[in-house]
Chain A
Amino acid sequence: MMSSDLIFDATVSFEYKCLRVFEFQRSNNPVYERFCDALEIHRPQSISEIPLLPIQAFKDAEVLTNFENSKYKIQNLEYFQSSGTSGMQRSRHYLRDPEIYRRSIIEGMQQFYDLDDFVIWAYTPGYNENPNSSLIWMLNTLIGREESGLSRFLELGKPLDENEIRKVTDAGKKLMVFGAAFGLLDLVEMKNVQLPADSMVMETGGMKTYRREMNREELHRRLAKGFGISLSKIHSEYGMTELLSQAYNPGGYWFGTVPWMEVSTRNPKDPMEEVRTGEEGLIGVIDLANLYSCSFILTGDKGVQVGGGKFQVLGRWNPRNLRGCNFLIDQD
């Protein structure tokens, strides 16, 4: 048995925790066990020897770490499901212990922000129709813990109300507006507003699923202009259904992780190998909050890292050299 407290215990080294979680998951998660067995990885001595499970597994299988005779049965568990159109294969992430996710959200954000200072507003078109959205769960958690009563989900299709903004200021609080990238853009396109200078906008990604093509820099520039705040107040969150922790970029484009999460960039031709700092690769994530699913994940995102573990997300990874005839200027 593993205590979930270990994950958040700052006095224990990350590596030690990883090796313990690996052992726990390898022994109690059939998908991960079979994966490791096929790779002939049994007792890693360091983090670098731990294999990362391709994230697609959350679509193709039930990724659950559970004891054989556990009272928790998969059919009774709450789960998160990624958004998607009908017929599309969607990821499913079973939530065996919601308290871990709650702690990860709150304690994770507190690593970057003084949460008690903020009123949370969430504008989430597209997510509201998904009753199993992990983002909505997260926002409910943040809104629920804030005590002023001013935190809430914003009504869709309505611009921000200056009177409501004033109430936040009058309560001595700062405003944090959460939303998927293009939802926020819709909001400013309805009406440009002037948020107080100490407000913050938290963009949660979702750029690939929307109707407009735009890079993150352009998006942030437009949001800053539309909300009347400085570019440094437009922040991003990197999260997904398959992860119970988030990374944040508190201004700029480099994400930092919470202490129980670590990101690496992997060689797509050999995912056991990390690419050099500054080189593009597949983003690999170790998220110890995924204690009851799988903590060792190879995403399908392209990324690049600088020193200190900070990373940038460069979109989806597209195989550069799909099989077949291909004139490659640097090779042919």
Chain B
Amino acid sequence: MIKITQTLKNWLEPNNQALQEAIEKTVSEGLFSKQDIQHQLSVLRGNVENGEIQKWANRAGLTDQKNAKGKKVLCLHAGNLPLVGFQTALGVILSGADYYGKLSRKDPYLLGSFLREIEQIGIEQEIQYTTDLHDFQNLNADHIVFAGSEASVPQVEQEVKKLGAAKEKAEYLIRTAKFSIAYLEDWNEEVKNDLVESMLRYGGKGCRSVAVVVATFTLDEVKEELSSAIQKFWKDNPQQQKPAPELKYQFAYNEGIQRNQLWLEDFLIQETDELPETDFTVNCVKGDEAKVRELKAQFGTKVQSVYTTETEISGLETEELAKAQSPPLWWKPDGVDVVEDISSTIS
């Protein structure tokens, strides 16, 4: 644990040459913006400084008796935002399991540079990673971790099976959460900035990103202020990816049916309580706590987190809106702690 913590600290050092090279390559290949990478790294630095590695191990109940030593865990990392697979990779390594990472071709350098440093410290566990799943042919992993949609799961399972990358009875931890909901009762400078960060960071592409806002006020009441705050955010954090033409189509549709909306060319905020299906879109609706509960139930496992500013919503687990894009190290994708899950399964 100490070795891993120290390695992570070293890796995160701003003057770490290997990390700097990984950042430069990622940015120069247009994979992610420098601002989004720096944000992610800065969150991780904060996590480490707060002693969250040890705290995570404690929370997960890791001990000499309860761990995942000797087990093979294959992680299929997504690449929708920089270092999106980092938490899973670190969790697997902390658990003591052998880590086999299929890195995303959309984010191969950043996580790779961390894993290379972990490899070099000579821990007992196996650390292997690649961008080609075929490299894990006949791996016979005990556990598979990946994020998927209903449509993609069978295809992934079939491919894993075909390659013999996992045992016949391997355990699958599949994450299906796609977006988060924010509930706002107040509107002030802090809430506004937190909301903008939660919606726009990483182009809104993470499952912790807010794609649905329930507020006790209408979009019209805050439209101008919100628009200015978004422009300011983009000035400091230009949006890396541009939306597909479907977004303008959706804007035009809203105009057609006279749905209230805030059109920002590269992003759309629209007043509706429908499932947010399109990238670069946030749906907002006026409502109270009951509305939040209703939408959470309706969208089911697609919802990662429900954020509030100060309020608690009875019957729902909530998180602070301000932490949407800077979560603690042990945040639970789909409500499951990866360390706990693979350790309890295997021990």
Residues of A within 8 A of B (CB): 31-32, 34-39, 51, 53-54, 56-57, 60-61, 268-273, 318-329, 331-332
User: Within residues 258 to 282 of chain B, which ones have a CB less than 8 A from any CB in chain A?
Assistant: 258-259, 276-279
B304 close to chain A: CB less than 8 A: yes
B201 close to chain A: CB less than 8 A: no
Contact (Cβ within 8 A) B253 A54: yes
B307 close to chain A: CB less than 8 A: no
Q: In the assembly, what is the distance between CA of A313 and CA of B191, in Å?
A: 46
How many whole Å from B267's CB to the nearest CB in chain A?
A: 13
Given A39-B249, A57-B257, A325-B155 contact (CB < 8 Å): no
Given A39-B249, A269-B246, A325-B207 contact (CB < 8 Å): yes
Contact (Cβ within 8 A) A327 B255: no
| Residue numbers in B under 8 Å from A332 (CB-CB) | 76-79, 102, 104-106
| Residue numbers in B under 8 Å from A57 (CB-CB) | 253, 256-257
Given A39-B249, A326-B78, A60-B156 contact (CB < 8 Å): no
Given A34-B255, A329-B156, A324-B249 contact (CB < 8 Å): no
B91 close to chain A: CB less than 8 A: no
**In chain B, what residue has the closest Cβ to A332?**
B104
Interface residues of B, CB < 8 Å — how many? 52
| Residue numbers in A under 8 Å from B109 (CB-CB) | none
Other-chain contact of B149, A35, A37, A322 (Cβ < 8 Å): A322
B302 close to chain A: CB less than 8 A: yes
Q: In the assembly, what is the distance between CA of A332 and CA of B76, in Å?
A: 9
Contact (Cβ within 8 A) A270 B246: yes
Q: 9 pairs across A/B with beta carbons < 8 Å?
A: A38-B256, A57-B253, A319-B277, A320-B152, A324-B178, A325-B80, A325-B177, A329-B159, A332-B105
How many whole Å from A27's CB to the nearest CB in chain B?
A: 15
B175 close to chain A: CB less than 8 A: yes
How many whole Å from A184's CB to the nearest CB in chain B?
A: 30
How many whole Å from A316's CB to the nearest CB in chain B?
A: 12
Number of A-B contacts (CB under 8 A): 128
Please indicate which of the listed interface residues B106, B147, B205, B257 has the most CB atoms of chain A within 10 Å of its own CB. Answer: B257
Other-chain contact of B277, A31, A34, A54, A322 (Cβ < 8 Å): A322
Other-chain contact of B244, A36, A51, A269, A324 (Cβ < 8 Å): A269
**In chain A, what residue has the closest Cβ to B175?**
A325
Given A272-B245, A331-B106, A332-B76, A323-B155 contact (CB < 8 Å): no
How many whole Å from A210's CB to the nearest CB in chain B?
A: 21
How many whole Å from A122's CB to the nearest CB in chain B?
A: 34
**B67-84, CB under 8 A of A: which get 1 and which 0?**
000000000111111001
B170 close to chain A: CB less than 8 A: no
**B93-130, CB under 8 A of A: which get 1 and which 0?**
00000000010111000000000000000000000000
Given A38-B251, A322-B302, A327-B156, A32-B256 contact (CB < 8 Å): yes
Given A268-B246, A270-B246, A325-B105 contact (CB < 8 Å): no
**In chain A, what residue has the closest Cβ to B150?**
A318
- List 10 additional A-B contacts (Cβ < 8 Å) besides A38-B255, A327-B152: A61-B256, A323-B276, A325-B175, A325-B333, A326-B149, A327-B104, A327-B156, A329-B156, A332-B76, A332-B102
Given A332-B105, A332-B106, A324-B256 contact (CB < 8 Å): no
How many whole Å from A322's CB to the nearest CB in chain B?
A: 5
**In chain A, what residue has the closest Cβ to B106?**
A332
Q: In the assembly, what is the distance between CA of A252 and CA of B205, in Å?
A: 42
Q: In the assembly, what is the distance between CA of A321 and CA of B148, in Å?
A: 9
| Residue numbers in B under 8 Å from A31 (CB-CB) | 256-257
